[in-house]
């Protein structure tokens, strides 16, 4: 047996360079590169290995551990999970910063390999710098925090353990059914220890991503269920995109006249103008999808996790005769809602069921209902697209304390732009090949309802974890995956303030991204939520502390985000009118460097409602009549929701 003497870190890099995936006969390298932020826990271990011989791995310098991991996640998501980046950090706060990103990856079923440094396996220098000591368990370090948010976790306390750990890592990272964050904790002394690794550990490995076939019994169950239903609806989830099953879903829907709604992850699998595409469904869904969903007698979930936002906390599907069919490669997700389940690849299952169903000459019973629902939504969409602030008496969808905050905002910003009108204009201005990226705040709701992708795979939303701060880092990851397309991060001011450091990395790498920043001087989405449940505006608007009341209810805090970003070398624009918006977007397309468009948008001018309901905990007792009313409404909706 031939052996190669390498340090643990050197062996890890050599192994990663020899991992490939094969999907539908196409083979490509699986690990594109590695994002790094070096510290004492990884710089002379993994850092030395990368300096000595990175192989084909592209090494990027991150600015924030969470941010660089978000970029890696977005890259894998946009690549349909066929290629990944790894991320390495030092021990302690560097590692802890990546825990949030691990949650993002695992919640969304997106593969990412995290390689945090760790304290000494020997324990002899303990306690080292940045070490958290736990007197009850000396094996615990910061990296144990990854266990709750990783699909696979391991700690390499001896060099030879690397072999089984990495084989298992590849098992999870290339799994369609059970992927997410993989965390391999690397004690800094073990990173530098040498071992005689067998040569075969470094052979080329091709991990075949196979299309799981559906069991014939499951197909028959699905056929029996569908044939007995007249008003089915399909929910198009992220699994449709990862399976590359868009054409199969389109064909299936057309053959049997079945409309489909989209989850955030499934949006843009099929273009928005398809006659059977109802658009976003659920809490952030639109009028058309939610109208059809309420009367549906069968819900066919394809590659969806059936989150509370998709089902309106299990309140949306209110037909007493409704039943559920799940098509999912994951048995766990397939079992949800007590559904008839087909555990299989989405494309394979749709094609197989479609072939058999066609023999039965099946058609849904819809006549004019789909077209009527879409027409109603088109009228509403046109209304949203033309809303303008007209001063006193202006009442958008979400009122709240609108009469107080809007005049104040207008006085401080000299802007009268509404969020829905800006989005409608952007949908016209951005090229159809462009990709938009989002994650949190009010924008995901407005985008799922209003954004109309004209090309497949141009809508990239992280909504499994809805992580503030993902947007700009995610845009960088998407740009790495799609270098020839314009990429736009749709971000609120609250999320921008939370994390935008990878803007610097985009400049360093000469990977142009575009940040479209909606500044409404608040955590606007949560402000709407609290006020809709009977509270006042408390702790969610960006206000100075009032010296008289001692509360954060003073004037709004004005921030010039364009001026801030320009200091990084970003080309920036300040927008307060529609004409300024049009000029900024067109000029940004001519730039070679990353851009930021700072748009001042009126608070509370986003979309809302459309028959949806979201279950949040409302106080059972309160001294506020409004809160008590909200509690009664919650109990009423809860009594009508399905329970499993």
The domain 3-208 belongs to what CATH superfamily? Answer: Thiamin diphosphate (ThDP)-binding fold, Pyr/PP domains (3.40.50.970)
> Taking a C-beta distance cutoff of 8 angstroms, is the pair 45, 191 a contact?
yes
Beta-sheet pairing, 323-328 with 152-155: unpaired
Domains 3-208 and 216-370 share a fold: yes
What values do phi and psi take at 321, rounded to 5? -95, 5
As given in the structure block, the two tokens for residue 182 are 């993989």
From the CB of residue 147, how many other CB atoms can be counted at a distance below 10 Å? 11
Whole-angstrom Cα distance, residue 411 to residue 432?
Answer: 36
Instruction: Write the DSSP symbol of residue 593.
Output: S
Whole-angstrom Cα distance, residue 626 to residue 534?
Answer: 4
> Taking a C-beta distance cutoff of 8 angstroms, is the pair 307, 464 a contact?
yes
pLDDT confidence of residue 399: 54
> Taking a C-beta distance cutoff of 8 angstroms, is the pair 16, 31 a contact?
yes
Q: Mention every residue, 6+ apart, whose C-beta is less than 8 A from residue 226.
A: 232, 298, 300, 325, 353, 357, 362
Q: Which helix (H) or strand (E) holds 460?
A: strand 459-461
- Give the pLDDT confidence of 108-135 residue by residue, as tens digits: 999 999 999 999 999 999 999 999 999 9
Whole-angstrom Cα distance, residue 83 to residue 93?
Answer: 28
Could you say which residues of the chain have pLDDT below 50?
Answer: none
Average pLDDT, the chain: 95
Per DSSP, what are the bridge partners of residue 208?
22
Whole-angstrom Cα distance, residue 387 to residue 450?
Answer: 13
216-370, CATH topology level: Rossmann fold (3.40.50)
> Would you call 402 helix, strand, or coil by DSSP?
helix
Whole-angstrom Cα distance, residue 351 to residue 245?
Answer: 9
> Taking a C-beta distance cutoff of 8 angstroms, is the pair 279, 269 a contact?
no
Of 182, 32, 41, 20, whose CA–CA distance to 113 is shortest? 182
- Give the pLDDT confidence of 382-433 residue by residue, as tens digits: 999 998 887 766 666 555 666 678 888 888 888 999 999 999 999 999 999 9
Sequential DSSP letters for 529-575: HHHHTT----S-B-BPPPTTT-SS-SSB----HHHHHHTTT-EEEEE
Whole-angstrom Cα distance, residue 96 to residue 116?
Answer: 9
Whole-angstrom Cα distance, residue 622 to residue 628?
Answer: 6
- Give the pLDDT confidence of 217-267 residue by residue, as tens digits: 999 999 999 999 999 999 999 999 999 999 999 999 999 999 999 999 999
What CATH number is given for 386-600 in this structure?
3.40.50.970
pTM above 0.95, yes or no: yes
pLDDT confidence of residue 406: 81
- Each domain of the chain, given as residue ranges in start order, spans 3-208, 216-370, 386-600, 614-644
pLDDT confidence of residue 513: 98
Whole-angstrom Cα distance, residue 50 to residue 32?
Answer: 14
> Taking a C-beta distance cutoff of 8 angstroms, is the pair 183, 116 a contact?
yes
């Amino acid at each position: 047996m031939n052996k190669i003497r390498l340090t643990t870190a050197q062996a890890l890099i050599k192994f990663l360079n020899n991992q490939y995936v094969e999907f539908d006969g196409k083979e490509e390298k699986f690990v594109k590169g590695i994002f790094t932020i070096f510290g004492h826990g990884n710089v002379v271990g993994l850092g030395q290995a990368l300096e000595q011989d990175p192989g084909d791995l592209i090494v990027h310098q991150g600015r924030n551990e969470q941010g660089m991991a978000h970029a890696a996640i977005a890259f894998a998501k946009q690549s349909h999970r066929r290629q990944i980046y790894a991320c390495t950090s030092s021990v302690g706060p560097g590692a802890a910063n990546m825990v949030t990103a691990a949650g993002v990856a695992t919640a969304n079923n997106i593969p990412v390999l995290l390689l945090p440094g760790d304290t000494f396996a020997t324990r002899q220098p303990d306690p080292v710098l940045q070490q958290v000591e736990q007197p009850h368990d000396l094996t615990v370090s910061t990296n144990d925090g990854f266990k709750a948010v990783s699909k696979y976790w391991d700690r390499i306390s001896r060099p030879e353990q690397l072999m089984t750990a990495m084989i298992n890592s590849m098992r999870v990272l290339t799994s369609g059914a059970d992927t997410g964050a993989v965390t391999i904790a690397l004690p800094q002394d073990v990173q530098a220890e040498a071992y005689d690794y067998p040569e075969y550990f470094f052979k080329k490995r091709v991990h075949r991503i196979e299309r799981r076939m559906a069991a014939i019994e499951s197909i028959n169950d699905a056929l029996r269920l569908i044939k007995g239903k007249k008003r089915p609806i399909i929910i198009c989830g992220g699994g449709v995109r990862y399976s590359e099953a868009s054409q199969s879903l389109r064909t299936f829907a057309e053959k049997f006249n079945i409309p489909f709604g989209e989850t955030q992850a499934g949006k843009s699998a099929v273009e928005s103008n398809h006659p059977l595409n109802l658009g976003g469904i659920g809490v952030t869904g639109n009028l058309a999808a939610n109208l059809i969903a309420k009367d549906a007698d069968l819900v066919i979930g394809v590659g969806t996790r059936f989150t509370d936002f998709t089902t309106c906390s299990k309140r949306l599907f209110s037909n007493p005769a409704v039943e559920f069919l799940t098509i999912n490669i994951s048995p766990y997700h397939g079992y949800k809602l007590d559904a008839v389940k087909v555990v299989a690849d989405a494309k394979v299952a749709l094609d197989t069921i479609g072939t058999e169903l066609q023999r039965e000459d099946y058609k849904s019973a819809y006549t004019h209902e789909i077209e009527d629902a879409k027409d109603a939504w088109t009228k509403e969409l046109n209304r949203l697209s033309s809303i303008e602030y007209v001063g006193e008496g202006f009442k958008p969808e979400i009122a709240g304390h609108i009469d107080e905050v809007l005049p104040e905002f207008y006085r401080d910003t000299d802007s009268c732009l509404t969020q829905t009108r800006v989005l409608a204009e952007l949908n016209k201005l951005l090229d159809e090949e462009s990709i938009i990226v989002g994650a949190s705040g009010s924008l995901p709701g407005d985008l799922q309802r209003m954004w109309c992708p004209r090309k497949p795979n141009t809508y990239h939303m992280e909504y499994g974890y809805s992580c503030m701060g993902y947007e700009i880092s995610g845009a960088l990851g998407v740009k790495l995956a799609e270098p020839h397309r314009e990429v736009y991060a749709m971000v609120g001011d609250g999320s921008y303030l939370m994390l935008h450091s990878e803007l610097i990395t985009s400049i360093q790498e000469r990977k142009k991204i575009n940040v479209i920043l909606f500044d409404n001087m608040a955590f606007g989405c949560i402000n709407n939520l609290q006020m809709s449940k009977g509270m006042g505006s408390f702790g969610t608007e960006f206000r100075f502390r009032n010296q008289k009341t001692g509360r954060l209810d003073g004037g709004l805090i004005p921030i010039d985000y364009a001026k801030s970003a320009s200091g990084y070398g970003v080309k920036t624009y300040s927008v307060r009118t529609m004409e300024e918006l049009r000029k900024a977007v067109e000029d940004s397309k001519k730039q070679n460097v990353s851009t930021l468009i700072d748009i001042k948008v009126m608070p509370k001018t986003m979309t809302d409602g459309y028959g949806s309901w979201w279950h949040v905990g409302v106080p059972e007792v309160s001294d506020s009549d409004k809160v008590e009313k909200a509690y009664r409404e919650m109990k009423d909706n809860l009594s009508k929701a399905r329970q499993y």
